[in-house]
Structures are given as C-alpha cells and as structure tokens.
Structure 1
Amino acid sequence: MKSVDLVIVGGGIFGCAIAYYYTRNYPAKSVMVLERKELCNAATSRAAALMTVVRSKQSYIPLSLETRAVIPELEKQLGESLDMKTVGMMHVAASEAREKDLQELMAIAGTYEQPAEWLRADEAMQKAPWLKADEARAIAFLPQEAYCDPYLLGTFFARCAKQQGADIRQGVGVQSMLMEGNTVVGLQTDGGKLYAGKVVIAAGAWSPLLARQAGIGLPMAPVRSQYWITERSSLFPEASPIVLLPDAQAYARPEGGALLFGVRENRSLSLSPDLIPEEITEFSFSPDRGMTDLSEVIERLGRFFPGIYDIGLKYYMAGFSAYTPDGNLSMGVAPGVNNLLLATGCVGAGIAIAGGVGRAFAELAAGRSNPYNFNDFDISRFGKIDPFSQEWLDKCAMARSKKVSG
C-alpha cells in the first residue's frame, strides 16, 4: 500500500507546474503525478501558447507574471533555453466599443508597470506586413508580450520537478476516488490503491468525471479551440508581433515564417466529458479541418488580413479547453470535500498562467494560504449546476464564441 503527501491527477502543464513548486518549496514532502498517457500530450501541446500578461481580467495577471518569473529559473536549472519569443503584442481596435476596451487595457498595463505604447496604422503594418490596419481607431503595442512552445514549457516543469524528487508516472490511469465520508483519502489506480494526504485534480477536459465521484458538479465544460497555420511567406517575418483583432474575434502570431491564427466560430463545439476518448488523437475535432467554421467568419478576418483569401493553409490544430460561462477560471479548494483541490477550468489561458497556478496549488496542498486572490474563480459561484447537461455545455460554448480577447 503506497502513501504520499500529495498526488496530482493529470500530467499536463498544470499538474507538472504544481509538482515543480511543491518539490521546490517543500522538499521533505512526497508528491506523485499520475498521467494515464504521456506528459503534456493533450491540451497543453495543442495550445497556441500566447504568454499574455496584460489582460482585462486582472485576476489573471499575477498568475501570468509568476510564469514569466519562473521561466529563467527553469532554464538555469536545466541548462537549456525555452526559446520564448518576446515579440510583443499589437491590439487593433476598429470600433468605438473596442477602442474603449483598449484604453482601459492600456490603463491596466500602467497599473502593473508593463511597457505599452500607441502606434499609428502605418507603424503597425510595418511591424506586421500581412496586416491591413487603415480602419483602426486605435492600435496599442505591448513589447513584452510573448509566445512559447507549450509542450516544452510543460516538460521543463516536469523535468525540474523530477530532479527535485517528484515521482512522475506515465501510463497509470485513475479509476476512482477513495472516500471516507466527505474526505478524499486517495485513489484507486490501475496499479492498486494509492493513499494521499491531499489530492489535486488537474485532468483538463476529463476533470468533471473525477469531481463527480466526490459529489461536485465542476463548473466548466470542454470546448473546442482551433487554429490554422498558413504556408510560409515573406508577409510573416519571424520577429513580427502577435496581433489581436477583437473586432474580428481573432488572433495571429508568427510561426516559423508562417502565420498561426485562430478565430471564434459562430457556434463553438462543446462535448460532455463522458464522450471524450482517453486518447485525444482518436477524436475528430472537425471532419473538414475547420473550414466550414472558418468560411462563416472569414469576412471578419479578411477585413484585417486580406491575404487570407489567397494564402495556402498548411496545418490545422484543435483541442479542448475548459471554458466557463463568465470566462473566469474554475479552480481552488473543493467545496464540502476535505483534502481535495481542483486545478481546472483554464479558459484558454492555461499556458500563460501555469506558473501562478502551480505556485498557488503547491501552497494549498501544503496547508498554507493561497498567495493569490481566487475569489473570481470560486467553484461555487454558479450555484448547483450539472456540468454534463446540454444546457450547461451550450452556455460554456457560447462564452468562447463571444470571446474577443486572445
């Protein structure tokens, strides 16, 4: 019978980050990460990985700042570079409403002492030759924003955690929670019973399945995120910035001499966690590689990227992100259940906030107070919900369809 201080279910970027901070800050305690497939091979590796710091939802910002702060430490420990691309981010506002949003965002940047400046349309188009910005009412540039390889960042956390003593096990599935009344005492795994002082669920799209066993309706739903990568072109310099186009509900960033871009389709696909296969590659996110969805909104994007009609699309990528109706994370201490923590509901921001999430849950797992304010992420904020109902899935999908940020 195995017993550990902390067991983490899920070897994505959240689970690996929690293991890293826990082993770093509490080296005398034992931690095990259980991943039924391969580390960082589901949502993490499929992310567009915008490392956005300055956001309208200010509760995210301290979490993102922690990610930025820890990356040099991971690189130093491993003696390797993450090769994060600090190319900056342009926000292009072409309507009165989005211009007002952008003015508020610039004020937030000042509050957090993040560099930011206004650009003219010709300056913006010089930075991003593919961009048509003559209709813009306002353009802001935040030079410290970045993107990265999400799989690499997740495995940097895992490798450092392992060096610090974490027991990371791949190919081990969790069958059920072990409960004594309203207290979680461990897990039934493929390899037998595992007892733990604390359990963290960080299983991404599958998290509601385990939470249900503890009597918790976890307020999140798996919603498809999708993006495309164009053919290579001189229009897409590798050092050009990330571009957010809220009026087109789109974002774009360079990708090795090509352009990676994503749009919010009119109706996002959501799926009950019951129906998602264990092996995510077995799921067809779109039979036509998202072309029907893209065709429905291409005019919005073509207004700012006229080349979209002519450029070839070489790659398509899709995955599940955990969305909520209000666009806030769903994570923290499980309500009404002892010894259970829920690191879930990434809302498409999981890569950027991974450092803060890792630090927060490491402290909570050690019985300490959360260093961050998670009030906006309270798991009980929607009241009693059924996360498997079609009504709930539709609400979460609509939240992504209406999203205008990156």
Structure 2
Amino acid sequence: MRDIVVIGGGVLGAAVAWALSRRGLGERVLVLERSQPASGATSRAAALVTLLRDDPAMVELARETLRAIAVLEDEAEEVGRRQVGSLHVGAAGQGEALDALAARCSSLGIEVCRIGRDQVLARAGWLEPDAIEGGVFVPDDCYVEPYLLCTAYLRAASRRGVRLMTGVEARAIHHADGKVEGVELTDGSRIAARVVVNAAGPWANLLSADAGLPLPMAPVRSHYWITEPTSAVERGGPIVFLSEIRAYARPEVGALLFGIREQRPVAADPRGLPADLGGFVFDARDPEGWESLAEGAADLARYFPGVETLGMAHYISGPSNYTPDGKLIVGADPALDGLYVASGCNGSGITFSGGIGRLIAEMVCQEPTFVPATAFAPARLGMFDPFSPQFLAACAAARARKSAG
C-alpha cells in the first residue's frame, strides 16, 4: 500500500523520496508531479552546493547533500558534479575580513585555505588584479546539473520501490479529525495516504494554506546571466563569491555564469504562478532583467572588466521561496497529523536537498533528527495571510539582505 505521498517532483521532493526509500519505505512512497521531474524551479537553478552558512545546522544540511551526491555517484548515477571549490574574494584592504571568514569556516568544521592575490588569480584569472586583496578557498564546494541531480534521486529511489506519477496535479490535501487522509487531484479523484509531504516548490502555499497551514515564504525572483563564450574564463575554475558587491559567478561551458543581488527584489503571488514557468515574467517593467543588470554592472566591472564588452548569451529567471527570517521550512504541521513540508530554501534548494530529504525522512520515521529542526518549523509564524502584499514584500526584502550565493 502506498500511504506516503510526496507532492512535487523537483529536487526537494525527489530527495525526500530517495531518503525515505533508503529507510526501507520505498514500496510505500508515491511521488506526484504534474509535468516532468525538475521542470519547475529546479530547472532554473544555478545549482551551487556550498557549505558556508550562518547557522551550523544549515552547514550540516549542506554537508549531507555532499554525502548524498557521493552515494548517488557510487550507485553509478550521474549528477554533473564539478568539484571546483569556491573562492570568497576580498577587495583591497579586506585582509582582516578574509582572516575572520577563514576562522569562521574553521569553527564550523569547513576545510578552508586562506590565499593571497596571486593564488586567487591562478584559480580565477578573469578577475581584475588591482581589485583584489586575497581570498578564502573552500575545496569541498561544487556545482551540479540540477536536472541530473533531481532525476538521479528519483532513479535511485525507484530502484528501491518508489513510484513516480507524472501528469497528475494535486488540488488539495484531504484531511479529517486532525489527520491527513490523502490528496485530491484536479480531476476530482483522491489518493489515500496517511502521510503527505508538500514539496510543491513555489506553489506549496496553495496546498498548505488551504489545509490551515500558511507557510512563511513567498516566491521571489532569482536570476542570473550567462555571457557569450570567452577565453578569459577557465572551464575548471571555481565558484567565485564577491561579497562586497553581493555577486557570484562560475564557469559555464566556456562562458561566465553570474548573479548579482539586486537592491529591490521582486516577489510574486503564488496564486498567479503558471504551471509552465517558461514565459512567466516577474516584473513587466524589466522582463529580461536589464535594469537589474545595469544596477550592478559597474560594481561587477571593477572585478571583471570584460562584462562591459561581452555579450549576454542567456538570461535565466525563476522563483525561489524566500522566508522573512532566512530559515528553511522543513517539518511537520503541529495541527494536522501526517502533513510535512519541505520548502523555503531561500535560493539554496540544490545545496540543502540531501539534508532536507534526510530530515523529513527522520521525522516521518519518528527518528531523532541529525540537526535541530525547531527553527525550521512550518508553523512558526502562526496564522497569517501568506498572499498579502505586505508579506510578499517582506520575503522580497529577505532576498535583498542575503549575502551572495
């Protein structure tokens, strides 16, 4: 009997299904996906897997994702991992700040190497030498192909009995007497279940709010650009973080992929998000992100002068669920037995996927959790309107406060 239903075949739903299957529950798990796996927000991710976080619990969640990737690769699954490390670059005069960053990484158990300007340039020769003091290198960081990681989780889960249904859309979480009873589909049919995991990404509040659990998150535009091919960017170069200007970059098939944290991010009402994000525009005044790029281009040019002359080959935008407090949304509904949520990743869903999968699986199995999860509680804000303009604005502001990455 399949009595555990996971709503959403993106990277978080796939990771949850995989983690449950590794606990022997595969034959009980059904994943519902209205389109194809990884076709929503997952497909638009820059797909960084980075360890450095302010919260030690979130560091452990990211570390668990690296372990999950290693297990998948041991099972001959290809995730497109590029083990290039990350480089946190400091501007001239920021030597003390770099020392402090290296010390903080060490205190969190993250392997780091404090390096000087010449070593920075040896790893990322596209950077402008005069702008750089030095850097902190984190060798364990990597990036992956988001579609490959998501489908690897699902393939490995299916080998342990998990079933994936595509082309079916959940309309509501059916419940009675304080307990989950299943999922109602848009065609009016129902699938019985004692456990439902809401991993519906930017659409998750449409299900949870109707079930009496408004989630403290909203879809906010995350976007990045990819330059035309350039010999200035080494194919095996590291992920680069430029915290002073709140930007990040990484190689992408002979080009540079980069993102700049805008001052005024744009949130969307999830009720207006289409199932197909291909033509969705967050801001009609800036549909292709040119204003946002212009806002940060001068700062970026100080580190990468080539941005002023290189053409932009691609612009990718998509919804990332941001929370006002910067914490994830992972856990159980305290008022509805059997409902769990895996969401609210603040633009880092790939990074936390393996950790969130394990955390949800431990909760479903009523095991001790490997990290404290109280701060991630889905009901931590109580009852409120998750669709109000004021709340959407608060979530957008959270993206503006986030450091690059």
The TM-score bracket by the shorter chain reads over 0.9
Deviation at 1:43, TM superposition (A): 1.0
Q: What does 1:7-46 correspond to in 2, within 5 Å?
A: 7-27=5-25, 29-46=27-44
Residue 118 (structure 1) aligned with residue 117 (structure 2): no
Partners of 2:158 and 2:397 in 1: how far apart? Answer: 39
Which region of structure 1 is more displaced relative to structure 2, 41-50 or 327-336?
Answer: 327-336
TM score, norm. by length of structure 1: 0.94
Residue 208 (structure 1) aligned with residue 226 (structure 2): no
Deviation at 1:73, TM superposition (A): 1.9
Q: Secondary structure at the match of 1:177?
A: strand
What is the match of residue 392 of structure 1? 391
Deviation at 1:235, TM superposition (A): 0.7
Unaligned runs of 5+ in 1: none
Unaligned runs of 5+ in 2: none
What is the match of residue 368 of structure 2? 369
Partners of 1:379 and 1:80 in 2: how far apart? Answer: 32
Deviation at 1:395, TM superposition (A): 0.8
Deviation at 1:4, TM superposition (A): 2.4
Partners of 1:363 and 1:370 within 8 A in 2 = yes
Kindly provide the amino acid, as one letter, of the partner of residue 85 in structure 1. R
Partners of 1:76 and 1:129 in 2: how far apart? Answer: 33
Residue 176 of structure 2, aligned match among 176, 180, 200: 180
Partners of 1:359 and 1:344 in 2: how far apart? Answer: 14
1:243-265 Cα distance to aligned partner (Å, 9 max, x none): 10111110000011110000111
What is the match of residue 348 of structure 1? 347
Deviation at 1:211, TM superposition (A): 0.6
Partners of 1:91 and 1:271 in 2: how far apart? Answer: 31
* Structure 1 pair 110–280 and aligned structure 2 pair: CA distance change class (3 A): same
Deviation at 1:127, TM superposition (A): 1.6
RMSD of Structure 2 on Structure 1 (CA): 1.9
* Structure 1 pair 367–5 and aligned structure 2 pair: CA distance change class (3 A): farther
Deviation at 1:60, TM superposition (A): 1.1
Which region of structure 1 is more displaced relative to structure 2, 340-349 or 179-188?
Answer: 179-188
* Structure 1 pair 288–185 and aligned structure 2 pair: CA distance change class (3 A): closer
Deviation at 1:330, TM superposition (A): 1.8
Residue 141 (structure 1) aligned with residue 148 (structure 2): no
Residue 154 of structure 1, aligned match among 125, 150, 153: 150
1:217-248 Cα distance to aligned partner (Å, 9 max, x none): 11000001000001111111111111101111
Kindly provide the amino acid, as one letter, of the partner of residue 75 in structure 1. E
Q: What does 1:47-196 correspond to in 2, within 5 Å?
A: 47-77=45-75, 79-94=76-91, 102-190=98-186, 192-196=189-193
Q: What does 1:334-345 correspond to in 2, within 5 Å?
A: 334-345=333-344
Q: Secondary structure at the match of 1:303?
A: helix
Partners of 2:303 and 2:270 in 1: how far apart? Answer: 36
Percent identity, please.
Answer: 38
Partners of 1:209 and 1:142 in 2: how far apart? Answer: 38
Deviation at 1:125, TM superposition (A): 1.9
Deviation at 1:81, TM superposition (A): 3.3
Partners of 1:275 and 1:384 in 2: how far apart? Answer: 22
Deviation at 1:19, TM superposition (A): 0.7
Q: How many pairs does the alignment contain?
A: 402
Partners of 2:17 and 2:46 in 1: how far apart? Answer: 23
Deviation at 1:80, TM superposition (A): 4.0
Partners of 2:78 and 2:152 within 8 A in 1 = no
* Structure 1 pair 392–95 and aligned structure 2 pair: CA distance change class (3 A): farther
Kindly provide the amino acid, as one letter, of the partner of residue 71 in structure 1. I
Partners of 2:227 and 2:314 within 8 A in 1 = yes
1:56-95 Cα distance to aligned partner (Å, 9 max, x none): 3322111111111122221232x24333111111112338
Partners of 1:282 and 1:184 in 2: how far apart? Answer: 35
Q: Secondary structure at the match of 2:3?
A: strand
Q: Secondary structure at the match of 2:375?
A: helix
Kindly provide the amino acid, as one letter, of the partner of residue 401 in structure 2. K
Q: Secondary structure at the match of 1:54?
A: coil
Kindly provide the amino acid, as one letter, of the partner of residue 374 in structure 1. A
Q: Secondary structure at the match of 2:125?
A: coil
Partners of 1:81 and 1:20 in 2: how far apart? Answer: 15
Kindly provide the amino acid, as one letter, of the partner of residue 115 in structure 1. E
Partners of 1:69 and 1:293 in 2: how far apart? Answer: 36
Partners of 1:95 and 1:353 in 2: how far apart? Answer: 32
Which region of structure 1 is more displaced relative to structure 2, 208-217 or 190-199?
Answer: 190-199
Residue 251 (structure 1) aligned with residue 257 (structure 2): no
